[in-house]
Structure 1
Amino acid sequence: MIHSIPQQPDPDWKQISAIEICDNAEPLVPVSLAPGKLKCYPAYYKLGIPNAIPECHVRKGVYLRLLQAAELLPEGISLLVLDSWRPYAVQQYLYDTLYNAIETRWPDKSPTALEQLTREFVSLPSTHPQTPSPHLTGGSVDVTLIDEQGLMLDMGTLFDEASSGSHSGAFELLENPTPHEQQIIGHRRLLYRVMTAAGFTNLPSEWWHYDFGNQLWAWYSNSTQACYGVAQPDNLESRWRKELDSQKD
């Protein structure tokens, strides 16, 4: 039996940003090379989001835990990564786009209120060493489940849908769920169970968002320290520079 998803508090970003980061220098690795029941579909790239990349990169420790979570799924169900590490420009685009949409819907709200509503679904863009956006660390992943035909299971809302129904425990609050709603509850519980069993924590406003190793994970897991800070995928230029620097006297 899969237990219900617990109702978690919203993140306290002031407390989260105060958590110490001691980056363990784990590299970012591509999810697309994963075997078996771990799949990759870079959703933002497929949607044509500016500066999005055609790969899902995660820290090595996250990758190994994703493999573990995928193996816990029943036969015929696979784990699909939709987004993970993202460039700062993508984070800024997502934040600005949602902020502007909310401002258009509620033009009388104050900038503080607009920021609060936006941050329910998109973190502030930041590459600051002490306050990086979760996805810029390589420790955040957006995931869902797919069946044997590669079709996404019904999770009740779309990935990145900015509505209260996207809260992980939203359907748990229904007193008399319909058979369809019971199916949605089962799918969310299954995803939550395998991801938390592999060591991830969930952002309660997004059924698809899970963390390991970053400040958000540290706060929800009551850890005193985060092991992932700002990360950057390796590229040819950075590799050459490292090689040249190593040759200096």
Structure 2
Amino acid sequence: MKTRIPLMADPVWPEVMKIAIEDNQEPLVPVSLAPAPLQVYPAYYKMGIPYAVPECHTRTGIYRRLLKAAKQLPAGMSLLVLDSWRPYGVQQYLYDTLYNALETRLPKKSAAELEQLTREFVSLPSTRADAPSPHLTGGSVDVTLLDQQGLMLDMGTQFDEASAWSHTHAFEEIATPNARETEVIKNRRLLYGIMTAAGFTNLPSEWWHFDYGNQLWAWYSGAERAIYGATQPDSLENRWRREVEKYSAN
């Protein structure tokens, strides 16, 4: 992909949260069932993050778009999903951890300033029906690329690195990139290109974060409304409860 990654403004969260949601009720599905070249590595579970789950779930529409994106990769490469639907407890843990780290390092910053800095990389934890955290909708995915040996390509920063270099466009600003920076630019353009071609939008502060169907996607795509609200994987208990209710109704 030779096309430059465009410079995009950060979302105006108060306006994003005003976008109407009309959930289309697509279920969550496990991405680990996907065929190659789509792979899964539930990063937060592997890191031992509290409340993280050992699977990456997405809405059905996201799943199909991930497959479409992965099929655009050069032969031998894979698209790796690191995180997708995220329990509220994980969102709260990530937010608090980054906020506390910033507060320790920047003691003169006000609470409002610390919140703004934190939200650059972690959305505000929310279960509000009209404004859920993006990952809580099953419409956000964190992804990267693997080479033919299953190693992650150099994207310039680590996944979830709270750095200015994590901004998707950051390396495009280098006037004379060296060999490593040129490789990073190529890799980011490839990831950005296949994901946006599949209908996803990107969060400008995170090269790994892409959305479809939720409020953040609606904000960047210009859609009138979001089609994914807060959701969660179905459970055996919930399925049995529905079955019992149907039986009782008859």
The TM-score range, normalised by the shorter chain, is over 0.9
Shift of 1:13: 0.5
Rounded to whole Å, the distance in 2 between the matches of 1:173 and 1:38 is 30
- Aligned AA for 1:166? S
Q: Which residue of 2 aligns with 1:206?
A: 206
CA deviation digits over 1:125-184, x for unaligned, max 9?
001100100000000000000011110000000000000000000000000000110000
Q: Classify the secondary structure of the residue corresponding to 2:162.
A: coil
8 Å contact 1:82–1:143 — kept in the other structure?
yes
Secondary structure of the residue that 2:206 maps to in structure 1?
Answer: coil
Using the alignment, how far apart are the partners of 1:135 and 1:244 within structure 2?
31
Deviation at 1:248, TM superposition (A): 2.5
Q: Which amino acid aligns with 1:155?
A: M
Distance across 1 between alignment mates of 2:248 and 2:223? 40
Letter in 2 for 1:109: K
Is 2:75 the partner of 1:75?
A: yes
In structure 2, what is the Cα distance between the partners aligned to 1:26 and 1:248? 26
Runs of 4+ in structure 1 displaced over 2 angstroms? none
Identity of aligned residues (%): 67
Q: How far off is 1:2 after superposition?
A: 2.2
In structure 2, the residue matched to 1:167 is: 167
Aligned equivalent of 2:134: 134
Q: TM-score, normalised by structure 2?
A: 0.99
Q: Within 1, Cα distance between the matches of 2:67 and 2:248?
A: 40
2:218 match: 218
Deviation at 1:10, TM superposition (A): 0.4
CA distance in structure 2 between the aligned counterparts of 1:2 and 1:64, rounded to whole angstroms = 25
Give distance in 1, aligned partners of 2:247 and 2:215.
Answer: 36
The total of aligned residue pairs comes to: 249
Counterpart residue number, 2:28: 28
- Matched with 1:189 is 189
- Which letter maps to 1:235? S
Q: Distance in 2 between matches of 1:248 and 1:13?
A: 44
Q: Secondary structure at the match of 2:80?
A: strand
Task: Name 2:155's counterpart in structure 1.
Answer: 155
Specify the SS of the correspondent of 1:21.
coil
| Length-normalised TM-score, structure 1 | 0.99
RMSD: 0.6
Q: Distance in 1 between matches of 2:142 and 2:229?
A: 18
The answer as to whether partners of 1:2 and 1:193 remain within 8 angstroms in 2 is no
Distance change >3 Å, CA 245–CA 2, structure 1 → 2:
farther
Q: Which moved more, 1:112-121 or 1:232-241?
A: 232-241
